C-alpha cells in the first residue's frame, strides 16, 4: 500500500519552534493562496478532509503536519511527514499577515533540514508568478521540486497543453534545483488527474532520504 494512504493529521505549528524534532523526512506543499494545496494533499492521500480546503483564500494559516505511518494503528511508526503551508500572495491579506507568512513558511523552507522535497502547487490558469519565482529561489538547491499544475479541469485540452508549455518556458534553469529537471504534471483534485504521477514522485523522494 502507498505510504501516502496512511496519512493522519499530526500537528499544527504556528511558529518554527512548535515543530517536532527535525529528524523525519518532510515534504512541503507550497503555493499561492487558494491555488489548491490542501485539495491536492487530500486527493493524493485519497482522503476527503485531511487538509482543510476552502473557497476563502488564506484558509491555511499555520504549518499543518501529516504523519505517514507504517504498521498497524496500535503500534504504527511514523516514517515521514507531509506539510501543508499557508498560501502567499493573497492581495487582501494585511501586511502583518504577509510578514507572518514570510516568517513561517519562508523560514521553514530555508531552515528545515529535514525538508526532502517541495511540491509547488500552481493554478494552471495563472502560470508562475513573481512570488512563485521568489519561493523557488528560497528552496535549497539540493531539494528536489515538482510543480503541480492544478485546476487543469478548468481549461480545455489544448489550452492545458499550452499552459503547461508556458510554465516550462518560464522556469529558469536554476529553479529546477540540482536534479536538473522539474516534473510538471497536469493535475486536478476534482477529476483526480495526475494523482498517480504525483504520488509516485512524492514516494520516491520520501523514501530516498534515509530516516535518522
Ligand atoms: N475545479 C477545481 N477546483 C479546485 C481544484 N483544487 C482546488 N480547487 C478549489 O479551489 C479552492 C481552494 O482550494 P484549497 O485546496 O483550499 O487551496 P489552498 O491552496 O490550500 O488555499 P490556502 O490554504 O487558502 O492557501 C477550493 O474551493 C477548492 O475546491 C481542482 O483541481 N479543480
Ligand atoms: Mg490550504
- Domains in the chain, please, with CATH? 3-208 (3.40.50.300)
- Residue 91 exposed, middle or buried by CB count within 10 Å (0-12, 13-18, 19+): exposed
Whole-number Å distance between alpha carbons of 96 and 79:
35
> Which atom in ligand 1 lies closest to the alpha carbon of residue 189?
31
* Residue 125 CB–ligand 1 contact under 6 Å: no
- Is residue 53 scored above 90 in pLDDT? no
- Is residue 173 scored above 80 in pLDDT? yes
Sign of CA dihedral 162, 198, 20, 138: negative
Residue with CA nearest ligand 1 atom 10: 36
Q: How far is the CA of 77 from the centre of ligand 1 (A)?
A: 30
Mean of the pLDDT values across residues 139-168?
Answer: 97
The Cβ of residue 77 has, within 10 Å, a number of other Cβ atoms equal to 9
Q: Which residues contact 107 (CB under 8 A, 6 or more apart)?
A: 16
Q: How far is the CA of 173 from the centre of ligand 2 (A)?
A: 28
Report the half-sphere exposure of 54 (CA within 13 A, side-chain side): 10
Entry pTM:
0.93
84-123 confidence digits (pLDDT tens): 998 877 766 666 666 677 778 888 999 999 999 999 999 9
Amino acid at each position: 500500500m502507498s505510504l501516502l494512504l496512511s496519512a493522519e493529521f499530526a500537528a499544527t505549528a504556528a511558529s518554527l519552534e512548535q515543530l517536532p524534532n527535525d529528524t523525519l523526512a518532510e515534504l512541503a506543499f507550497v503555493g499561492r493562496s487558494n491555488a489548491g494545496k490542501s485539495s491536492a494533499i487530500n486527493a493524493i492521500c485519497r482522503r476527503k478532509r485531511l487538509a482543510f480546503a476552502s473557497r476563502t483564500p488564506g484558509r491555511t494559516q499555520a504549518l499543518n503536519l501529516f504523519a505517514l505511518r507504517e504498521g498497524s494503528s496500535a503500534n504504527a511508526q511514523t516514517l515521514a511527514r507531509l506539510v501543508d503551508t499557508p498560501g502567499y500572495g493573497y492581495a487582501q491579506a494585511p501586511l502583518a499577515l504577509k510578514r507572518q507568512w514570510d516568517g513561517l513558511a519562508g523560514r521553514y523552507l530555508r531552515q528545515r533540514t529535514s525538508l526532502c522535497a517541495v511540491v509547488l502547487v500552481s493554478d494552471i490558469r495563472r502560470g508562475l508568478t513573481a512570488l512563485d519565482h521568489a519561493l523557488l529561489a528560497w528552496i535549497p538547491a539540493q531539494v528536489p521540486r515538482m510543480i503541480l499544475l492544478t485546476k487543469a479541469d478548468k481549461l480545455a485540452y489544448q489550452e492545458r497543453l499550452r499552459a503547461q508549455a508556458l510554465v516550462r518556458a518560464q522556469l529558469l534553469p536554476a529553479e529546477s534545483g540540482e536534479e536538473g529537471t522539474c516534473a510538471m504534471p497536469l493535475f486536478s483534485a476534482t477529476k483526480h488527474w495526475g494523482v498517480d504521477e504525483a504520488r509516485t514522485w512524492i514516494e520516491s523522494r520520501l523514501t530516498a532520504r534515509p530516516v535518522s
